[in-house]
């Protein structure tokens, strides 16, 4: 990652592919770079885009389906997937006339068939069905399965050169190098759907690689931003789940409280935009209106702002390279106060730990991610205290040591499984320990 090289952004190579929508990306960047007005709005608007939503019943899935509901005629649904929620999946598949519905739990195939009886919606169950959903020929795929389980399906979409709106940060944290290499090789178009990375994506087009000083990811600070350390020690599940600004799935809400989410986002940004750890800053911004910023060498800081609603970054990715009308209210800046502060790394050790894992490289980010997933599950299940979550990651990392980065899904799964086993032992030791 040599930032002094006068190369263009990885954006321009990976984000410009050959898939139907990705070719729109080529035209978009072609216009910016060469000032040739090649963009053809008519061609983009004429045909309904086919879309697939992986993780349709989750928080990101729900926001995506809401946007699709508001833009009928522009999009047609190819496939929808869920983990265990048959009822929610079948309801969506019927509502949107999906061609295929897949449930990850293989034991629920019969239930899904019953729920779709009388329709011509095909269905499947198990991991292979989720992968089939991703591999079916949709122009645009939302990758919103939670956790490391999202890697294989996202790769199935990437490998066929699709345009992939990437919400699942674990694809990059667990296998960033090979995920981005596979995307580049297949000519896939990766559009960041995580709000910070979507903001960076929008801001980065204001300059080029040689002009970049750093990217700055904003963080709300979570529910414990102003709490005394002794009170955080006693934080309950209910308190940790009360995010001040965002409504999200449980796992990512707990990650926001520990700020491991911000740590994982540093790693995510590094792989997405090919920027080293020391050029990725974090600022606490309690209002969550500036979603991230890019600082250029002439002193300009370009920020992206919108209301704190995940539908904004998803809408951007869904409409890309166009911009659609947001039907759910806009940000009004009058009367707003915006604050920015350096994060206190004693309060939020997860940021430093994730940064260290990124610097170490190899399998370190994947190990940290797996251990964190186990620790968060244990906290959600009432087994360990809130302040034990981050130490599970630290212990697991030190007991596994340095390992090379995974180069295949099988290697990524091996590392993931080993880290989970060790993190699980750690959790057992700390279960019920209150001191
Ligand atoms: P969620 O838990 O609300 O939803 C997860 C979805 O994935 C559900 O549809 C679930 O059925 C499905 N799923 C879970 N495990 C599965 C498995 N093993 N196989 C197949 N499907 C499975 O999660 P979410 O909050 O929507 O987050 C999804 C992803 O997006 C995560 O990677 C998260 O980090 C990222 N993200 C979320 C937000 C947010 O606002 N929620 C913001 C940025 C990034
Ligand atoms: Mg985010």
**Mean pLDDT, rounded, for 67-80:** 95
Atom of ligand 1 nearest to the CA of 167: 30
pLDDT at 408: 94
pLDDT band with cut points at 50, 70 and 90 for residue 435: low
* pTM listed for this prediction: 0.90
Which among 54, 55, 217 is the best mutation to test ligand 1's pocket, defined by most ligand atoms within 8 Å of the CB?
55
pLDDT at 340: 98
Ligand nearest to the CA of 169: 1
Q: What angle do CA 1, 201, 24 make, to 5 degrees?
A: 105
Put the strands of the sheet holding 163-166 in their side by side order: 122-125, 100-103, 75-82, 49-54, 140-143, 163-166, 189-192
pLDDT band with cut points at 50, 70 and 90 for residue 47: low
- Ligand 1 neighbours (beta carbon < 6 A): 55-61, 81-83, 85, 104, 130, 144-146, 149-150, 167-170, 194, 246, 248-249, 251-252, 310
pLDDT band with cut points at 50, 70 and 90 for residue 412: very high
Which among 144, 157, 179, 265 is the best mutation to test ligand 1's pocket, defined by most ligand atoms within 8 Å of the CB?
144
Q: Which residue CA neighbors atom 17 of ligand 1 most closely?
A: 83
Q: State the chain's mean pLDDT as an integer.
A: 89
Ligand 2 centroid to 195 CA: how many Å?
5
pLDDT at 6: 35
Ligand 1 centroid to 59 CA: how many Å?
7
Ligand 1 centroid to 212 CA: how many Å?
32
Whether the pLDDT of residue 433 is over 90: the answer is no
Residue 409: CB atoms within 10 A of its CB come to 16
Ligand 2 centroid to 194 CA: how many Å?
5
Q: How does pLDDT run across 277-286, given as a tens digit for each residue?
A: 999 999 999 9
* Contact present, 179 and 158 (Cβ < 8 Å): yes
Question: Alpha-carbon Rg of the chain, whole angstroms?
Answer: 21
What element of type H or E holds 79?
strand 75-82
Q: How does pLDDT run across 190-241, given as a tens digit for each residue?
A: 999 999 999 999 999 999 989 999 999 999 999 999 999 889 999 999 999 9
More confident residue, 278 or 30: 278
Ligand 2 centroid to 123 CA: how many Å?
32
Q: How does pLDDT run across 122-170, given as a tens digit for each residue?
A: 999 999 999 999 999 999 999 999 988 999 999 999 999 999 999 999 9
């Amino acid at each position: 990652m040599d930032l002094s090289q006068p190369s263009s952004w990885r954006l321009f190579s990976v984000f410009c592919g050959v898939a139907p929508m990705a070719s729109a990306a080529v035209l978009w960047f072609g216009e910016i770079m060469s000032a040739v007005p090649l963009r053809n709005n008519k061609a983009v608007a004429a045909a309904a885009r086919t879309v697939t939503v992986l993780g349709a019943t989750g928080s990101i899935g729900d926001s995506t389906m809401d946007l699709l509901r508001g833009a009928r005629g522009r999009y047609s649904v190819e496939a929808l997937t869920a983990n265990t929620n048959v009822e929610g999946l079948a309801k969506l598949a019927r509502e949107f006339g999906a061609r295929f519905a897949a449930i990850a739990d293989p034991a629920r195939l019969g239930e899904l068939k019953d729920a779709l009886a009388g329709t011509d919606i095909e269905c499947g169950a198990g991991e292979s069905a989720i992968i089939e959903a991703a591999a079916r020929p949709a122009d645009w795929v939302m990758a919103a399965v939670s956790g490391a389980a999202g890697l294989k399906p996202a790769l199935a979409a990437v490998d066929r050169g699709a345009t992939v709106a990437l919400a699942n940060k674990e694809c990059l944290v667990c296998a960033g190098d090979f995920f981005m290499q596979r995307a580049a090789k297949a000519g896939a178009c990766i559009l960041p759907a995580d709000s910070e990375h979507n903001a960076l994506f929008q801001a980065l087009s204001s300059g080029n690689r040689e002009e970049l000083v750093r990217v700055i990811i904003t963080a709300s600070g979570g529910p414990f931003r102003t709490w005394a350390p002794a009170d955080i020690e006693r934080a309950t599940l209910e308190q940790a789940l009360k995010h001040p600004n965002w409504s999200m799935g449980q796992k990512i809400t707990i990650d926001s409280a520990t700020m491991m989410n911000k740590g994982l986002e540093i790693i995510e940004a590094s792989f997405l935009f090919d920027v080293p750890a020391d050029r990725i800053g974090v600022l606490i911004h309690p209002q969550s209106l500036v979603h991230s910023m890019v600082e250029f060498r002439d002193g300009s800081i370009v920020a992206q702002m919108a209301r704190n609603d995940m539908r904004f970054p998803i809408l951007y990715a869904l409409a890309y390279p166009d911009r659609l009308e947001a039907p759910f209210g806009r940000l009004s800046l009058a009367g707003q106060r915006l604050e920015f502060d350096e994060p206190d790394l004693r309060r939020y050790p997860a940021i430093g730990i994730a940064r260290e894992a990124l610097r170490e490289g190899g399998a370190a980010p994947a190990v940290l991610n797996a251990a964190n997933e186990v620790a968060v599950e244990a906290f959600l299940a009432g087994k360990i205290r809130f302040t034990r979550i981050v130490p599970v990651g630290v212990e697991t990392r030190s007991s596994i040591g340095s390992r090379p980065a995974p180069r295949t899904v099988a290697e990524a799964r091996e590392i993931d499984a080993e880290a989970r086993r060790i993190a699980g032992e750690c959790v057992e030791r700390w279960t019920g320990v209150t001191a």
